[in-house]
Amino acid sequence: MGLGLSKEEKLHESVRQGDVESMRLLVRSGAKLNWTIYGKTALVLACSSPHLLDAAVELINMGVDVNYCDPDTQTWTAIQMAARKGLLQTVNMLLLHGANPLIHLGSERNALEIARHKGFVEIVCAIERNICFFSGWLRNFHDTDHGAWEKIWAVVLPGGTSLSMDVTKLKIAIYHHHHHAKPSKTLSIRHYTFRRPDFSHHDPELVLVDNSIFASGAPLTLRSGKEGDTEQLKLLYNACIGMIRTNNYFRAATEPAEDVGSISQEESETAAAMVTSIQTATAEGVPISVVGFKGQGDVTDCDSFPLTKKEWINEKSTTTLSSSCVICTDNCADTVCVPCGHLSGCMACLREVERKKIGCPVCRAHIERILKIYTV
């Protein structure tokens, strides 16, 4: 592998060749994981090709900072590179391991903006699904007197570089077609006043009045994608005003338009189980935001359940994310079992428990899925 090369240069070369075993040996011998060479860290290099996914996973397992960027050279983050290359599987893997798709450097776009600009619809959906506070089909009424409306896909997203909710920065991205990567309109929630819907009505509506100095046109009048779906509109309203920060078990934006607003019984039961799990963890005093994953590292329908400080209810609980995993005892217990809600292990150990169908380490209840917990 080249004489006279530094350990970091050899590490980059091993990554380029996808030589995982050599990577391990070099890191054990002291190679710095976050070293930048030619404007790229080893992880950014690994996230630039679909053939280097295993190398990228190994780097993360060895402790590389998934969101690292050199403050001097202003290099891209790994997820920015993966989004630029259109690598959906790599983007999903990075999101699974806590990559922040909203980080941007200088005038460069963040990963979500890059995917939109490049027209990578599936990557846009994957990112928005991972970070949004609401996502779903709605009906936008242009003329409430005559009932004229259009179908839209709306996503409530963080407006800054942080994944936590700041009501003053929230945005609503509106899509008029599920095959579009770029939203047709993006609304800054801080510019709007919300008229609380009459949820006793069989088909309530949410009216958004633009208070900005550039306001023009009639207020925005929104109803659930499916007539009478009161719960969906509640989720949208609560997300917009910051009372509660949670997703419905929403469908992917690429789903056929004919299925507007429909949610199966199985999906509803899964959503209820997830909410029960989060409530259990919250009742134990754990301030959390959650991203759900199914299977052994496969990202399927990711559901975010970030909670506000008002929901950090029990101040007497001794259960915190500083507790150790009951299986390996080395890592932090940061993953909850659904539907029992026990916060007992780390993601790596509980993935293995789920795969072997052993059951929850605490109560032995069947594990339907596991959820990673992040402190706010």
Mean pLDDT, the chain, whole residue set: 76
pLDDT at 137 over 80: yes
Q: Containing H/E element for 16? A: helix 7-17
Q: Could you tell me which residues come within 8 angstroms of residue 26 by beta carbon, excluding any fewer than 6 positions away?
A: 7, 10, 11, 14
Provide mean pLDDT across the span 210-215: 72
SS3 85: helix
* pLDDT, tens digit, 9 for 90 and up, residues 226-242: 998 898 998 898 888 77
Measured over the CA atoms of residue 153, residue 154, residue 160 and residue 164, the dihedral's sign is: negative
* pLDDT of 160: 82
pLDDT at 136 over 70: yes
| C-alpha to C-alpha distance for 11 and 5, rounded to whole angstroms | 10
* pLDDT of 205: 92
Q: For residue 201, count other CB atoms closer than 10 A to its CB.
A: 12
* pLDDT, tens digit, 9 for 90 and up, residues 142-194: 755 566 888 999 999 998 888 777 777 889 999 987 778 999 999 888 888 88
Domains in the chain, ordered, with CATH? 7-129 (1.25.40.20), 132-259 (2.30.29.30), 265-374 (3.30.40.10)
The phi and psi torsions of 222 (rounded to 5 degrees) equal -120, 140
Residue of higher predicted confidence among 317 and 154: 154
Provide mean pLDDT across the span 320-344: 77
- Candidates 287, 289, 268; CA nearest to 371 is 289
Instruction: Give CA separation, 44 vs 41, 59, 70, 103, in Å.
Output: 5, 10, 11, 14
| C-alpha to C-alpha distance for 108 and 97, rounded to whole angstroms | 23
| C-alpha to C-alpha distance for 20 and 25, rounded to whole angstroms | 9
Q: Is the pTM of this model over 0.95?
A: no
* pLDDT of 331: 79
CB of 56 within 8 A of CB of 78?
yes
Q: Would you place residue 196 in the very low, low, confident or very high pLDDT band (cuts 50, 70, 90)? A: confident
Q: Would you place residue 284 in the very low, low, confident or very high pLDDT band (cuts 50, 70, 90)? A: very low
* pLDDT of 3: 59
The pLDDT > 90 percentage for the chain reads: 36
* pLDDT of 73: 67
215-220: list long-range contacts, CB under 8 Å, 24+ apart. 215/191, 218/142, 220/140, 220/187, 220/192
Q: Which residues are bridge partners to 192 per DSSP? A: 210
SS3 145: coil
Provide mean pLDDT across the span 78-95: 95
| C-alpha to C-alpha distance for 368 and 342, rounded to whole angstroms | 13
| C-alpha to C-alpha distance for 86 and 118, rounded to whole angstroms | 8
CB of 361 within 8 A of CB of 353?
yes
Instruction: Give CA separation, 101 vs 94, 105, 218, 291, 296, in Å.
Output: 9, 12, 33, 14, 22
CB of 33 within 8 A of CB of 7?
no
Among 79-93, 114-128, 174-188, 232-246, the minimum mean pLDDT is found in 232-246
**What ranges make up the beta strands (E) of the chain?**
134-143, 148-157, 171-175, 185-188, 192-195, 206-210, 220-224, 289-293, 335-338, 343-345, 369-374
Provide mean pLDDT across the span 8-20: 95
Provide mean pLDDT across the span 325-329: 77
* pLDDT of 256: 31
